[in-house]
A and B are shown apart, each in its own frame.
Chain A
Amino acid sequence: MEIKKFYEEIGGNYEEALSRLMNDALIERFVLKFKETQKLDGLKAAIEAHDYEKAFFEAHTLKGVSLNLAFKELGTAAVALTELMRGDLAKTTNPEEVNAAYKKVEALYLDVISKIN
């Protein structure tokens, strides 16, 4: 897997990932681990069930991991989704708005996953 090219393709920041993880081998290990362990099922189910407290927790995790791996576009989308459901907002949030934000996250997530091999 060509790490630098992969980052370009998914709208990530290769230099930032390198500054954090020191070398390509380690970046690759974590990227593969992302594909293996970071699933969307929990977030999807929580959003469909309108359980926004749980969805916040799931989105928050996805956001942290994406930012740490410097998956910029996915991270930014996850931040937007998270902020719609933070704290008291979880009770008053508009499901359509959340759905739209989620769809963005989902599309980017699937794009990232499809390019990891």
Chain B
Amino acid sequence: MTAFRNEQDLFNLKKTVLVVEDNDINREILKSILDERYIVLEATNGKEALDIVKNNAEFISLILLDIQMPVLDGYGFLDEYNKHEDYKKIPVIVTTSEGDEEEHALEKGASDFVTKPYKPNVILKRVEALIRLKESVGAILETRLDHKTGLINREFFHYVSDNVLKKADVKLTYILCIIQDFTYMNTTYGEDDCDKLLKVMGSIFQKYGNNALAMARYGGDNLAFVINSEVDYKAIIEDIEKELHELSPIPNVSLKHIVYENVDKSLKTNNIMNKLFTTYHSNNAKSEGSIIFFDKTIIEKENYRHLLVEYMDDSIKNEDFKIYIQPKHDCKTDELVGAEALVRWIHPELGFISPGDFIPTFEETGLITKLDEFIVKKTCEFLAKCKKLGLKEIPISVNLSRRDLAVFADPKLLTKAVKHFGFNKEQLHFEITESLAGNSADVLAKAKIIRDEGFKIEIDDFGSGYSCLGMISDIPMDYLKLDITFARRLEAQKDVVKHVIALAHELGAKVFAEGVENEEQKNIYRDLGCDAIQGYFYSKPLPEDEFITYLKNHK
């Protein structure tokens, strides 16, 4: 099979002829005449031909054009062709029949004509002569080669991949090779050294790429290559890395290779490459040394993430997001002392969506603020409703993410909102995770502002990460919530829990425990001095109306 890697390959390159003909038999006869000497692209009418030319003008050497065609005929094609300078560089031969008006086509810019029935020798000679007349080697290299690496460029890579490689009867493996920290190297070592690096990469690729079907400079900091899936790509990668280590003008250059084995040939090359980049940026991909493996599930996960982002706005509007409220009880008296508002998303198409899926996604994209605003609003409305119904007035906590703090740090707005809804300020608590509070002075400052305004702060998930006891004295807090992991190993961690509770009390905070599922856990927490408990032992999170009943039953 022909390979597309470097200048040498381009000199031996088969030229491309686009055959535009609606009749299957006529088109296939032309293809069979041309196939041995040319890469043949096919279009069944003028419109399809224009689409192909639009994307590949610089790679097409000649067009064989039928006149009588449906949708857009040969004359219509030539009208549009004449409007584009880069199309007009491609010579057109019109295929006519005896008695047709080939003069008209020649007037419209066609260079020559051939008549049906086709004479193979005549067609081949005319095609060859016209191509030779119109095309220079310089122009071929200019449009197909990347001069920094000496490999083919991205546009030509897409072209040969879609029109030649994927049509061949072999299984293909696509590999994207990304130079790590290239931007950093550009600023530190300068453009000259980086250009040298690219040149070295290009020559190493060519040296070890004997088996490659195509090799290209794909983007600023990355190269791509395609090989027959039967070839051992790991050996090639190993050779490339070893040699790069020796020849690189910049020390310690490292590469990542993202590999898509046995590609789905129905995919456009553009799409294949996007999947490789998505795999590179995903946290879920499997890897082995510098090699990262594409697999379909990664893309499904990423697509699901995109879907969640896309659906969010509508779901806020349609109130597909609901608050579910989980009670907190004093573990000595069993009295109901508070609750936490948790978000649930029940989408009409996707069904129940796990918070574990959408919360990290919204945190990454910044959408979490919108969602949290919605939750705060729904919680305020619920507190107002409880007051109006004359129910027990308990505090409810809502979760805040790092992104929210900028928005919520204007406490005047919060006060205004509370006044508007008509409940007590102390009833609205904000939960901030320990890891968030512990890692940023900025977060601490903003939490302090909120607390100074009269709202209570609860530190969430304490003990789930790398807790630092020295830090908790710096956090402005009213409540410390012990993470569910303590409840799971309570017997073994009794001593630690006891001292954490004592420390929190010393600092003036009350202690809640999360994830309490049975009486035994409850009793241990109670005996260790814990103030209140949240968990399935008392109740799972309840929808608003059920929680109202719960409030009525727990006066």
Residues of chain A having any CB pair with chain B under 8 Å: 16, 19-22, 26, 30, 33-34, 37-38, 57, 60-61, 63-65, 67-70, 75, 79, 82-83, 86
Contacts and interface: CB of A to CB of B under 8 A. Distances in A.
B28 interface: yes
Interface in B153-183: none
Given A26-B32, A30-B25, A37-B25, A64 B120 contact: no
Nearest to B97: A64
Given A16-B117, A64-B116, A30 B97 contact: no
A44 B97 CA distance: 22
Interface residues of B, number: 18
From DSSP, what is the main secondary structure of chain B's interface residues? mixed
Contacts of A79: 98-99
A63 B97 contact: yes
Given A20-B118, A68-B118, A60 B26 contact: no
7 contacts: A19-B119, A20-B120, A30-B28, A34-B25, A68-B25, A79-B99, A86-B99
Contacts of A38: 25
A109 to B, nearest CB: 14
Question: A-B pairs with the 4 shortest C-beta distances?
Answer: A67-B117, A64-B116, A68-B117, A65-B25
A90 to B, nearest CB: 14
B522 to A, nearest CB: 79
Given A20-B120, A61-B68, A68-B116, A83 B28 contact: no
Nearest to A29: B28
B117 A20 contact: yes
Given A20-B29, A57-B68, A65-B25, 13 more contacts: A19-B120, A33-B28, A63-B97, A64-B116, A65-B23, A67-B117, A68-B25, A68-B29, A68-B117, A75-B117, A82-B97, A83-B99, A86-B99
Contacts of B26: 64-65, 68
A30 B98 CA distance: 22
B33 interface: yes
B68 A22 contact: no
Interface in B113-141: 116-120
Contacts of B310: none
Nearest to A70: B117
From DSSP, what is the main secondary structure of chain A's interface residues? helix
A5 to B, nearest CB: 21
Given A26-B32, A60-B68, A69 B116 contact: no
Contacts of A82: 97, 99
B32 A21 contact: yes
A33 B25 contact: yes
A69 B120 contact: no
Interface in B309-336: none
Nearest to A61: B23
Contact of A37 (B24, B32, B119): B24
Contacts of B32: 21-22, 26
B24 A60 contact: no
A67 B28 contact: no
A26 B24 CA distance: 14
Nearest to B21: A64
Contacts of A57: 68
Most buried by B among A26, A38, A67, A83: A67
Contacts of A33: 24-25, 28
Contacts of B24: 33, 37
A112 to B, nearest CB: 13
Nearest to B96: A64
Contact of B23 (A22, A64, A83, A86): A64
Contacts of A60: 68, 97
Nearest to A71: B117
